Amino acid sequence: MKNPFNIWSKQPEYPKYWLEYETLFNKKTSPVLTDTKFVVLDTETTGFDYHLDRILSIGAVEIYNNEINVSNAFEIYIQQERFNEQTVAIHGILNHDLIQTYTEIEAIEQFLKYTGNSILVAHHAVFDITMINQMLYRQGLPNLKNKVIDTVDLYKATRIKSNLIKQSNYTLDEIAENYALDVCDRHTAAGDAYLTAIIFLKTTVQISRKNNFNLKKYFK
């Protein structure tokens, strides 16, 4: 058996698109909010088990200079072997024969090219990022290198501390209701990504009014 810690062992040979993605992180990102590119994402999945379940679709939209660039949105559907009818009914993702689908490896390549070295934003981000990292792992690739911000953390920072607030689950529906946002596209990856992007803008505007605002404080 080969020793995985042998200094003479051959390093993994990653595909060109991964190497190009990695090199982007040699550049320093701007600490100024309006000079930073964010990619707000959401995943729809067959369930909530990191190991057994799979991503059905990824939706994303970019934010730059406090504006959502809807003309450059990202949405991709992934071919499935594991399928959960109850989950599909919730997400509104119907027969995959009616839409163009991609393999995991194809989806990964397109997603990495879209995100680049942007700061990723998601609601309850641990779940989405872990599901994407599991997808990378299955293809023999390392975890995402991007910094990540969770809109739950941003939203909490805008709220008055109270026992009632602390008991909240901070769902997208709850926050959207508090901000009087339209939720007609909920439970699609693209729709939830756009809703999360609006929440991101609303919360960062409120937080940035504070003198001690530091974006890095929210990095994961």
**Is residue 83 one of the residues assigned to a domain?**
yes
Residue of 76, 140, 74, 135 lying closest to 102 (CA atoms):
76
User: Is residue 73 assigned to a domain?
Assistant: yes
| Residue 7 φ then ψ, to 5° | -65, -15
Helix then strand count (H, E) for the chain reads 8, 6
Answering whether pTM is above 0.95, one says no
150 pLDDT above the threshold of 60? yes
- Indicate whether 20 belongs to any domain: no
- State the average pLDDT over residues 116-139: 97
Tally of domains within the chain: 1
Query: Is residue 7 a part of any domain in this protein?
Result: no
Residue among 63, 33, 68, 41 at smallest CA distance from 204: 33
CA-based Rg of the chain, rounded to a whole angstrom?
Answer: 19
Res 186 pLDDT > 80: no
For 68-117, write each residue's pLDDT tens digit: 999 999 999 998 776 666 666 555 565 556 778 899 999 999 999 999 99
Residue 15 lies in a domain: no
pLDDT of residue 6: 47
Identify the burial level of 163 via C-beta atoms within 10 angstroms of its C-beta, where 0-12 means exposed, 13-18 middle and 19 or more buried: exposed
Give dist(CA 74, CA 58) in Å, integer.
8
CA distance 10 to 148: 31
Does 146 fall in a domain?
yes
Where b means 16+ CB within 10 Å and e means fewer, 186-196 reads ebbbbbbbbbb
**176 with 152: CB under 8 angstroms?**
no
Closest CA to 61 of 199, 181, 177: 199
CATH code of residue 90:
3.30.420.10
Distance CA 137, CA 110 (A): 16
Share of the chain above pLDDT 70, in %: 81
Residues 134-145 have a mean pLDDT of 97
How far CA 5 is from CA of 11, 12, 14, 214, in Å, comes to 11, 13, 19, 39
Residue 48 φ then ψ, to 5°: -115, 10
Q: Is residue 16 part of a domain?
A: no
Domain residues for the domain of 169 are 34-218
In a domain, 70, yes or no: yes
Q: What are the residues whose beta carbons fall under 8 Å from the beta carbon of 77, sequence distance 6 or more? A: 56, 57, 93, 96, 99, 100, 101, 102
